[in-house]
Each structure stands twice: as structure tokens, then as C-alpha cells.
Amino acid sequence: MVDAVVTVFLEKTLNVLEENRRVVTEYRKHLKDLQSELQYMQSFLKDAERQKRKKDVLRTLVADLRELVYEAEDIVVDCQLEDGGGVEDDGNNEQRPWLSRFYPSRVSLQYKKSKRLKEINESITAIKTRAEPYFKFTTPSNVGRDNGTDRWSSQAYDHTQVVGLEGDKRKIKEWLFRSNESELLKMAFVGMGGLGKTTIAQEVFNDKEIENRFERRIWVSVSQTFTEEQIMRSILRNLGDASVGDDLGTLLRKIQQYLLGKRYLIVMDDVWDKNLSWWDKIYQGLPRGQGGSVIVTTRSESVAVKVQAKDKTHRPQLLSSDNSWLLFCKVAFAANNGACERPELEDVGKEIVAKCKGLPLTIKAVGGLLLCKEHVYHEWKRIAEYFQDELKNNTSEVDNVMSSLQLSYDELPSHLKACFLTLSLYPEDCVIPKQQLVHGWIGEGFVMLRNGRSATESGEDCFSGLTNRCLVEVVDKTYSGTILTCKIHDMVRDLVIDIAKNDSFSNPEGLNCRHLGISGNFDEKQIKANHRLRGVVSTTKTGEVNKLSADLAKKLTECKYLRVLDISKSIFDAPLSDILDEIASLQHLACLSMSNTHPLIQLPRSMEELHNLQIL
């Protein structure tokens, strides 16, 4: 994501220079030099992102460049804070911020920063010299700015549209309606990731006839790390019971009580075979005799055997060529109601669809990419050739799905790459608040302000850019259609975690990265190991709470370049005002979220020191 890092930096630098702030002369000279060098290098950075996966030399150069640009950006923000002053107007303040620059301590600090910017410039020039043999550099025509706009600024593709699964849905409904009500019906949907198992289950679960038949419908997303207790609590949350403080025995008894005498349907989505010890206990505890049914979706045949689905195991098939083309059109031509009205695009489009081999997730990923590209032959042909190049060394269908997702990432505008990588922070099957994403993007400067749109509107545009490319799935909307929450497919999550780890954006182990997610099992030592942190975000799942110590705030003060701090859905062992007093020393902080934490009557006066804060 070095192209994204450079884009964010150039945006900040251009704003500083254009606003004609009273930046120290030496800063201005070095910033202009740095701006010129990076604008020149932008012509190869996107290609470098792709080639670094195959060339170790480029991987090292790109990593070095990324770290240098991060450091330069921190200095730019320091410049903005120096110029911004943030001093209350008492009649004399017009002169004080300027005169304060000549205090001996400030002069020494400015000299060190100016010297460091010069060193960064020299290092970046050396990187450019080493990279030149690999690429053809061209003079930029857009003065280094990502235009920050996308083909569509709102959701163009309706993710609820389904193609080619009518027979699957009909078959499952027949099993459910014809079952022996004296027994507990068990079904398994088995197949590789991206084949449509979850989509079929959702279609059945949300069907009106199914809704009328079953008095209780429960959906549980079972991640690889889920425990027996977490599964039981998830079932009870679906039934409206928070079950706070209950032990395992109480949890199971409550489930029995809620379901006793009721016809119920439970879907356990994405079950893995690593640890199925929970199945027997929960299964034995479910009431019989009322027509209860359980559907398990899994990639593993051994799971189907373990749950004893027997003759009720469904294996979804690949889409036919006609249905593949129909699904592709619904996505790629979503703005035209799924109709391809340009004959020159149909042939190349069908060539691309044939490479997807009937896998719905692959078709949607490539279709979403092309929805957001210009609908001209030469651009679609370029994508077809690029896709073919990505596929040529693959040995499995799973590899093909990952190649399509990698292609979609590689073709993202630079600012959207940074937005996309924030999804790596969230645990498997997590339902993510859209507002949390947008606020974090604004705080880190990932959102490009264009065409007079506000930061929030531009952040919403970024979100639409990811949903239209089928990288993010909508979960909940208001009655008026406003999106509230979203999620990502587990194969998309695999990709984003891998990219984020390689780019030191985030890391599941919490080492050598600039972003951390806080969840129930958060190890606060990770803060101490990452003083370069820029974002710390609460990623706790619905119905769960983070329990954090007051020491966390003290550790965070050592991360002086932190931009985004989200401690929502968290409780501390100290008053929130004490925590905020510690946080107030984070001068670079731009976004602070405290929703669903301790009650707070008023903010402490120390918060006035957060001159860079944009979102609270």
C-alpha cells in the first residue's frame, strides 16, 4: 500500500503549502523537494505494489519508502500543529505563536526536524535511483493528487440479488417442510469458500414461508476460534437474552427453555473442523419433538459426517455459463439494470467470466471491479490480460478466488487501498459499524476532500467504492435505506490480513504494525511493542465488552503519533475522566470515540490541548 501512503502524504503536504501556513522556511523548501520527488515516483508505485510480490529487491525498497514517508508525514502534522497555535484570542495572540518559534528549545527542535526532512529526501532519492532500472518513470500529469473520486459515489450494486440458486433453495425448503417433526433435522451445506453456501442459507433463512413456519429463527456465525460458551451466548442474543454472568450449564438450560414447545431453525454458518467438541453438548441440549431443524455450512466433509447430516448433505454446484454471465452483468452493469449495451464489451466480458469458472465470489469480485472502471474496450481488455496473468500459476479453485480478490485490490484507487486495509483489524464474522469505519478513515487522512463535499460525505463515497467492488457486504440498513453495518467474506478477510501484515499496517499477533484492534482478549503489551501506532480501534463483536485497565491510557501516551483512538464498548477500572486526562497528551489525535463506555458529565479541561481533534 505504499502508493496509498504516498497519496495521503502528498495530500497533507499540498494542503500545508496551499494554505500558506507560516511554516519555517527550511520546512517549506524540504517539503517542496519531497513533494516533487514523490510525485515523480507515483508513476511506478502502483506497479511496484504488484511486482514486489515476486521480487525481493522491490519488496525491500517499497518497505523502506513506506517507512520514510510515514516519518515525513508525522513531521508535516507537527508543522501544522506548530502553525495552528490553538491559542485562545486575548488580543495579543496574533503575535505570540510566531514569536514563540524563536524560543531556544523550539529553534533546536525545528532544526532537528528540518535536518531530518533533508535526510529523508536524500534517502528517497536513493530509493528512486535503485528502482529506476525496474520501471519507466513518467512525469505526473495530476501534480500528485489522487482525484479522490470514484465512478459511483453511492451504492450501485444491490447485494441482495441472487442468481442460479433457485433450485438449491427449493430443495432445502422441501427438506424442511417434509421433515419428521418428532426428530431434530440436521443438514449440512458443504463446499469450498466462495461457492455460495452462506448465500443459499440466507435465502432460505429469510424466505417468507420459512419465516411463517418457524417460530424461532437463529443465525450463528461460527468462526474458527469460537468456543462452546461463545456459541451459546450468540444463540441467546438471537433470542433476546444478554445472558450476562451465566455459566455454561445455565446458558444451555436457558436455550432449552426458550425453544421448548417451539418450532425452530438454527443456522450455524462457516463451521470448521478444528474443534467440534461443542457440537455434541449443544446438540444434545436442543429440544426434540416440535420440528426443530439445524443447518450447518462448512468447507469440510468431516464436519458433515460429525453432525450426522447423512442424506441431508447439500453440495452447491458451480454456476452454469449462462448464470455466470447473468450474475456478472448484474454487477458490472448494475447502473444500467444489468444490461450490456456495448457489443464490444460483451466478448471481452465473456472472456473474463469464463476465467471465473462458475465461482460466484470470483464473478462478483471481477464484476465489481469493472463496474468501477471506464466502460471502454481497451480498459476491459487490460483487466482481462492482467487477470489471466494472475491465474496462470494457480493450482486450485481457491487460488483462483484469491487471485480475483487480489486483482480487485490491486486496481483500487490509492486512497481506497488504505480504507480497505482497516478491515484487517476486525475478527472473523464481525458485524462492523459503517460509522466507525468512516470516522477512522477521516481521522487518518485516508478520505480525499473533493468537489465541495464534506469529510463525512467523502467518507461515505469511500464506503460505496468498497461495496460496489463487492469487497464489503451490507448487513443492516434503516427503513430509509441508510447503511448501518457491514461485514466481509472470510476469503476477503484472508486477503486483507495478508496484505496488511506484509505492509506492516496490522498484524494478528500485534507485532511490527501501525494499527491494532481491541477485543475482549486484548493484550495491552501490544501497545508497548508498537510505539509507531496510528490507529487503535475497538473491534469487539455485538453484545460483548472490552475490559481494560487504566494502565492502557498511560501506555497509549507513548504512541505520540496516534491519529485514531476508538475505545467504544469498553469499561475501565478507573473513571473515564482520568483516562481522558492521559489521552490529552496525544497531540496528533484526530478521531476519538467513546461511545458505550462509562457515563461522562463533562469533558476534562485537558482535552482542550487536542488541537488536531476533528471527530469526537
Q: How far apart are CA 318 and CA 420, in angstroms?
A: 28
Residue 26 maps to a domain:
yes
Instruction: Place 449 in a pLDDT band, splitting at 50, 70 and 90.
Output: confident
Give pLDDT, residue 88: 38
Q: Is 605's pLDDT higher than 70?
A: yes
CB count in 10 Å sphere of residue 139: 7
Predicted confidence band of residue 154 (pLDDT cuts 50, 70, 90)? low
Please report, for the domain that includes residue 178, its CATH number.
Answer: 3.40.50.300
For residue 158, being part of any structural domain is answered with: no
Is residue 189 predicted with pLDDT exceeding 80?
yes
Bridge partners of residue 220, in order along the sequence: 268
Least confident window among 316-330, 505-519, 542-556? 542-556
Q: Tell which of 276, 291, 314 closes a domain.
A: 314
pLDDT digits (tens, 9 = 90+) for 542-577: 777 888 877 888 888 888 899 999 988 888 877 788
Cβ atoms of 569 and 597 closer than 8 Å: yes
pLDDT band for position 36 (cuts 50, 70, 90)? confident
**Residue 255 DSSP SS3:** helix
Q: What's the pLDDT score for residue 256?
A: 92
Give how many domains the chain has, as a whole number: 4
Taking the CB of residue 344, how many other CB atoms lie within 10 A of it? 13
Indicate if 89 and 41 belong to the same structural domain.
yes
Same domain, yes or no: 282 and 344: no
* Grid cell digits, residue 203: 435465502
Per residue, the 3-state secondary structure of 113-179, as one string, reads: HHHHHHHHHHHHHHHHHHHHHHCCCCCCCCCCCCCCCCCCCCCCCCCCCCCCCHHHHHHHHHHHHCC
Band the pLDDT of 153: cuts 50, 70, 90.
low
Query: pTM of the full predicted structure?
Result: 0.89
Domain extent for 378:
321-414
Same-domain status, 14 and 72: yes
Res. 317: pLDDT tops 90: yes
Instruction: Return the closest-CA partner of residue 378 out of 408, 348, 334.
Output: 348
Q: Please say if the pLDDT value at position 91 is more than 50.
A: no
Is residue 500 included in any domain, yes or no?
Answer: yes
For the residues 147-158, what does the mean pLDDT come to?
58
Q: Do 192 and 127 belong together in one domain?
A: no
The pLDDT value given to residue 95: 43
Q: What is the pLDDT of residue 579?
A: 81
- Alpha-carbon distance of 93 to 82, in angstroms, equals 14
State whether 539 and 491 are in the same domain.
yes
- The number of helices, as runs of H, and strands, as runs of E, in the chain is 24, 14
Rounded to the nearest 10°, the torsion over CA 533, 413, 436, 218 is -120
Grid cell, residue 228, equals: 462452546
